[in-house]
Amino acid sequence: MTLKMFNALSSEIALGSLLECCHSRVWAERLLAHRPFKSLQELNTLASQVWFSVQEPDWLEAFSAHPRIGDVAVLREKFSVTASLEQGQIEEASDAILFQLADLNQAYLDKFGFIFIVFATGKSAATMLALLQERLPNSRSLELENNTLEQDKITTLRISRLFPEEENIG
C-alpha cells in the first residue's frame, strides 16, 4: 500500500490498519486525525509524538495485544533458528534458555502487571533473556517507560512494513 492509497481509505479501514501497527485505539484515532500524510517520515514522526502523548491505559492496551511469552513450545518455535545479521551465524536456543525466558516473563508480568516488551527483531533468545534479566529489577515506572520506548520502535517498523513502497525520507 502507498500513503496515497492509505490517505484515501475510509476512516474505519485506515483505523484498522493503524491498530495493526500499535493496538492502542486512542493512539490510532489521534494519529488518524492528522491525515493526509505527506511522507513516511512525517507519519512515523507523528506516530511517535502521539504515542508519547497518550496515557498509561492506552500504553497498556497496546502492550496487551502482544503475544505473551510464556509457552516454551512457542518460544522453541520462535527461536529454533535465529540468524544473526551482524555475524551471519545461525544460533539455536537451548531448552534451558527457553525455560528461563518463560519463567522470567511470568515473573515480569507478576511484578509489573504488564508483559515484557522489547524490539526483538534480530535478537537471539539469549539476548532477549539477558535484556529481561537486566530489566526485571527495575521499578514499575521505569519499566513502563522502557516498554513505551520499545513499543515505539516496534510501531515504527510495523508502519514501514505497512507501506513498503514508500521511502522513509522527507
**Which residue is catalytic, options 66, 68, 123, 153?**
66
Q: Which of 112, 107, 96 is nearest to 147 (CA)?
A: 112
Cell matching residue 30: 489521534
Q: How many CB atoms sit inside 10 A of residue 55's CB?
A: 9
Q: Measure Cα distances from 158 to 81, 87, 99, 134 in Å.
A: 22, 25, 28, 26
- C-alpha 137/C-alpha 164 separation (Å) is 38
**What is the full DSSP assignment across 38-49?**
S-HHHHHHHHHH
Active site residue 34: no
Cell matching residue 108: 515480569
**Sign of the alpha-carbon torsion through 68, 70, 76, 77:** negative
Active site residues: 66
